[in-house]
Amino acid sequence: RDDIVQKDLSSYRGIWVFAEQRYGKLKTVSLELLGKARDLSKNLDVPVTAVLIGNNIKNLAQELCAYGADEVLVMEAEWLDDFNDHVYGEMMIQLIQEYKPEIVLIGATSNGRSLAPHISSTLRTGLTADCTVLEADKEERLLLQTRPAFGGNLMATIVCPNNRPQMATVRPKVFKPLLPDYTKTGKITILPVPSPIESFVKKIRNIDNEEGANLSDADIIVSVGRGIGSAKNIQLAQELADALGGALGSSRPVVDQGWMPYSQQVGQTGKTVAPKVYIACGISGAIQHLAGLADIETIVAINIDPDAPIFKVANYCIVGDVREILPLLIKEIKEAKK
Amino acid sequence: MNILVCIKQVPETNKVEVDPVTGVLKRNGVDSKMNPYDLYAIETALRVREKTGGTITVITMGPPQAAGVIREAFAMGADEGVLISDRKFGGADVLATSYTLAQGIKKTGDFELILCGKQTTDGDTAQVGPEVSEWLNIPSVSNVCKIIDIEENSISVEMDMTDDIEIAKVEYPCLLAVDKDIFMPRLPSYTRKINTKDKQITVMSLDDMEDKDEKHYGLNGSPTQVQRIFPPSVNAHREMWAGSNSELTTQLLNKLKEMKFA
Ligand SMILES: Cc1cc2nc3c(=O)[nH]c(=O)nc-3n(C[C@H](O)[C@H](O)[C@H](O)COP(=O)(O)OP(=O)(O)OC[C@H]3O[C@@H](n4cnc5c(N)ncnc54)[C@H](O)[C@@H]3O)c2cc1C
Ligand SMILES: Cc1cc2nc3c(=O)[nH]c(=O)nc-3n(C[C@H](O)[C@H](O)[C@H](O)COP(=O)(O)OP(=O)(O)OC[C@H]3O[C@@H](n4cnc5c(N)ncnc54)[C@H](O)[C@@H]3O)c2cc1C
Determine the pLDDT at residue A303.
97
Determine the pLDDT at residue A227.
97
Residue B43 has pLDDT above 90, yes or no: yes
B214–chain A nearest CA distance, Å = 12
CA of B69 to the centre of ligand 1 (A): 28
Q: What average pLDDT does range A29-52 have in this prediction?
A: 97
| Total CB pairs under 8 A between chain A and B | 249
A75: pLDDT confidence band, cut at 50, 70 and 90?
very high
Residue B132 lies in a domain: yes
Amino acid in position B10? V
Determine the pLDDT at residue B162.
77
Provide the number of structural domains found in chain B.
Answer: 1
CA of A286 to the centre of ligand 1 (A): 6
Tell me whether A286 touches chain B (CB under 8 Å).
no
Dist CA A72 CA A261 (whole Å): 41
Residue A288's H or E segment, with its range, is: helix A287-290
Q: Hey, which residues 74-133 in chain B have their CB within 8 Å of chain A?
A: 93-95, 98-99, 121-127, 129-131
A3: pLDDT confidence band, cut at 50, 70 and 90?
low
pLDDT in tens, A280-332: 999 999 988 998 887 788 999 999 999 999 999 999 999 999 999 999 999 99
Mean pLDDT rounded to a whole number for chain A: 92
pLDDT top residue among A71 and A176: A71
Ligand 2 in reach of A168 Cβ (< 6 A): no
Dist CA B174 CA B142 (whole Å): 11
Where do the CATH 3.40.50.1220 domains begin and end in chain A? Answer: 210-337
Residue B11 lies in a domain: yes
Residues 6+ apart with CB under 8 A from A255: A261, A262, A264, A265, A270
* Partner-chain contact B167 A205, CB within 8 Å: yes
Dist CA A116 CA A229 (whole Å): 43
Give the domain extent around B199: 2-221
Q: What average pLDDT does range A240-260 have in this prediction?
A: 93
User: In this structure, what are the phi and psi dihedrals at residue A334, rounded to the nearest 5 degrees?
Assistant: -65, -40
A184–chain B nearest CA distance, Å = 30
pLDDT in tens, A87-144: 999 999 999 999 999 999 999 999 999 999 999 999 999 999 999 999 999 999 999 9
CATH number of residue B147's parent domain: 3.40.50.620
Nearest to A156 among B11, B226, B246 (CB): B226
Q: Which of A120-129, A144-153, B43-52, B125-134 has the lowest mean pLDDT?
A: A144-153
Q: Which of A79-93, B21-35, B67-81 is the most confident on average?
A: B67-81
A212: pLDDT confidence band, cut at 50, 70 and 90?
low
* Partner-chain contact B166 A205, CB within 8 Å: yes
Where do the CATH 3.40.50.620 domains begin and end in chain A? Answer: 9-190
Distances (CA, A) of A132 to A158, A176, A320, B225: 12, 12, 33, 17
Residue B247 lies in a domain: no
Q: Hey, which residues 19-48 in chain A have their CB within 8 Å of chain B?
A: 22
Residue A4 has pLDDT above 70, yes or no: no
pLDDT in tens, A174-197: 898 999 999 998 999 999 988 998
Nearest residue by C-alpha to atom 41 in ligand 2: B61
Mean pLDDT rounded to a whole number for chain B: 93
CATH class of A9-190: alpha beta
Binding-site annotation, residues of A for FAD: 226, 251-252, 265-269, 282-289, 303
Biggest alpha carbon–alpha carbon distance for chain A: 69
Amino acid in position A102? E
A168: pLDDT confidence band, cut at 50, 70 and 90?
very high
Nearest to B232 among A130, A148, A319 (CB): A148
Nearest to A319 among B13, B93, B240 (CB): B240
A6: pLDDT confidence band, cut at 50, 70 and 90?
low
Predicted TM-score (pTM) of this structure: 0.85
Residue B257 lies in a domain: no
Cis ω on the peptide bond leading into residue A47 (within 30° of 0)? no
Determine the pLDDT at residue A211.
59
Q: What average pLDDT does range A260-279 have in this prediction?
A: 88
Determine the pLDDT at residue B219.
93
Residue A31's H or E segment, with its range, is: helix A28-44
Residue A211's H or E segment, with its range, is: helix A210-217
Residues 6+ apart with CB under 8 A from B102: B132, B135, B136
Ligand 2 in reach of B37 Cβ (< 6 A): yes
How do strand A247-250 and strand A201-208 relate by DSSP bridges?
unpaired
Q: What average pLDDT does range B176-192 have in this prediction?
A: 93
Residue B82 has pLDDT above 70, yes or no: yes
Determine the pLDDT at residue A216.
79
Nearest to A325 among B129, B130, B249 (CB): B249
HEC string for chain B: CEEEEECCEEECCCCCEECCCCCCEECCCCCEEECHHHHHHHHHHHHHHHHHCCEEEEEEECCHHHHHHHHHHHHHCCCEEEEECCHHHCCCCHHHHHHHHHHHHHHHCCCCEEEEECCCCCCCCCCHHHHHHHHHCCCEEEEEEEEEEECCCEEEEEEECCCEEEEEEEECCEEEEECCCCCCCCCCCHHHHHHCCCCCCEEECHHHCCCCCHHHCHHHHCCCEEEEEECCCCCCCCEEECCCHHHHHHHHHHHHHHCCCC
Contacting residues of A for B13, CB less than 8 Å apart? 287
Query: What angle (nearest 5°) sits at the alpha carbon of residue A73, between those of residues A70 and A79?
Result: 155
% of chain A beyond a pLDDT of 90: 74
Dist CA B56 CA B50 (whole Å): 11
Residue B108 lies in a domain: yes
Q: In CATH terms, is domain A210-337 a member of 3.10.20.600?
A: no
% of chain B beyond a pLDDT of 70: 96
Determine the pLDDT at residue A271.
84
B23: pLDDT confidence band, cut at 50, 70 and 90?
low
CA of A164 to the centre of ligand 1 (A): 44
